Every structure is written in C-alpha cells, then in structure tokens.
Amino acid sequence: MIRGILFFALALLAAPGWAAPPPRVQLEFSVSSGSMDLGEGRDVLEHDGKSYSVVSELKTIGVAAILYKLDIRRQSNGLVTKNGLRPLHFEEARTRKPRRAVDFDWQANTIKLTDGDKVETLPLPANTYDQTSFTYAFAFKGSLDDLPPVNLTDGRKLSDYQYHIVGKEKLKTPIGELEAIHIKKIQDADDKRGFEVWLSAAHHNLPVRIRYVEKNGQIIDSTITRITYQ
C-alpha cells in the first residue's frame, strides 16, 4: 500500500504543471432540460495511480420523477496508464431498459457488448472508451492540445467520433465562477446526438458541466454543485 502511494506521488512529481486528481473525488450535479429541473447527479471517482473506478448515478426528483421516473447507474473500471485511462469493464442499469455491459480485452483486441439478451463481440480499436470513462479521461491526460479520434460505446454499439476544443470560457456555477475548457463533439450532417463537456483546470480537468443532445433534440444539461476531495 505504501509503495503504491509513493509510486503515485513520484509519478505526479515527474509531470510538472499537471497533477491527476486525488485518490477519491465526489462530484455532485444539478440536471436540467431547458427550464425543467430533472434531478440530481453524483459521480464518484476513485483511483490509486494504477487502477480506477467511476460510479455515476442520476435520479429524477420532483415533477420530473413523476413524469419521467428515470434512474441511471453507470460504473466503469479499468487501468491508469502512462497514456491515460484504459477501461476494462462498464455496465449500465437504467429504468425500463435492459442491462448493458461492455468488456474490454486489450490483449486479444476484442470488445464484448451486452445489451439485454443481445451479445456481440467486435474488434477493439485503440483509443476506445465507454461513455463514463471518456468524461474522466481528460483528468489523466498531461495535455489537452491533441484530441485524437476516439471510439465510444455504451453497450449497444461502437462508434468513432472526433472532438475539438471550442476554447476557454467562464462558467457561473453554485461553487463559484470557473474558468473551463469547452470541448465539443464534431457532428456529421446526419448525426443528431451531441455531446459537450467543460473541464476545470483548477479542478484537475474534471468535468464541471456536461451537455447531451438526444436523438429527438432534447438537451440534458448537468452543472456542478459540489466537489469533495479525499
């Protein structure tokens, strides 16, 4: 245990100007769609410099709980490498939806997707993430200057995407004004699903705002309300 902590500390010292997050971080979000408050989100990131776990939960509250009754729990586990996060397993439990899971076999270069009773094994491209690990992968990158194409999966399918840095912006949040790096998915003309994330340099490039655009055009916005470090 002590050797692991020392190894992690030395790794941080070897990368001046950048440091990975502390071993445990809890992030809380308010979730909305337009003018409607949908609910509350809570993400817990844990790592020891060699492996990581992210548990992401969303619960609807108030009127939204009556209209939508949507509870989502996602978990991603994997390795912390010199090139960032490398997921090994992902699973999602969602109200009224079949269980989804992903298993990454980096030695055999295969990925197994499970969507309810449907199971599919595909070739595993480099730079592949599940949707939860991707959001936190930026916190383990030494630089955000280069954003190579990525492959993402939620257990249903495997898709390749390209992202670009929109720029630096100031966000007004319940925890104060934050300078954030705005990253946005590049959408093809026929791609209706959007994704944007705002990363706070003051908080280890962790996400402080996340925006999804669903296929039907619905926008789901998550804004940070609290960050707790171990």
> DSSP labels for 14-28?
TSTT--PPPSEEEEE
Say if 3 falls within a structural domain: no
Say if 8 falls within a structural domain: no
Say if 161 falls within a structural domain: yes
- Residue 74 CB neighbours (<10 A): 22
Dist CA 63 CA 76 (whole Å): 30
Beta bridge partners of 55: 44, 75
- The answer to whether 88 and 110 have CB atoms below 8 angstroms apart is no
The pLDDT value recorded for residue 12 is: 37
- Residue 156 CB neighbours (<10 A): 16
Q: Enter the tokens of residue 197.
A: 């994330």
- Residue 124 CB neighbours (<10 A): 19
Say if 15 falls within a structural domain: no
Say if 42 falls within a structural domain: yes
Say if 4 falls within a structural domain: no
Domains in the chain, number: 1
* Domain range for 55: 20-229
Place of tokens 């990454």: 104
Read off the CATH number of the domain in which 33 is found: 2.50.20
Dist CA 125 CA 121 (whole Å): 12
Say if 157 falls within a structural domain: yes
Say if 127 falls within a structural domain: yes
The pLDDT value recorded for residue 204 is: 94
Dist CA 3 CA 179 (whole Å): 35
The pLDDT value recorded for residue 14 is: 36
The pLDDT value recorded for residue 105 is: 98
**Which one-letter amino acid corresponds to residue 155?**
G
Three-state DSSP state, 50: coil
Helices (H), 21-130: 62-67
C-alpha count within 13 angstroms, C-beta hemisphere, residue 192: 6
pTM of the complete model: 0.87
For the chain (length 230 residues), average pLDDT per consecutive 10?
A: 37 50 97 89 97 95 74 96 94 92 98 97 96 95 82 94 94 96 90 92 95 89 96
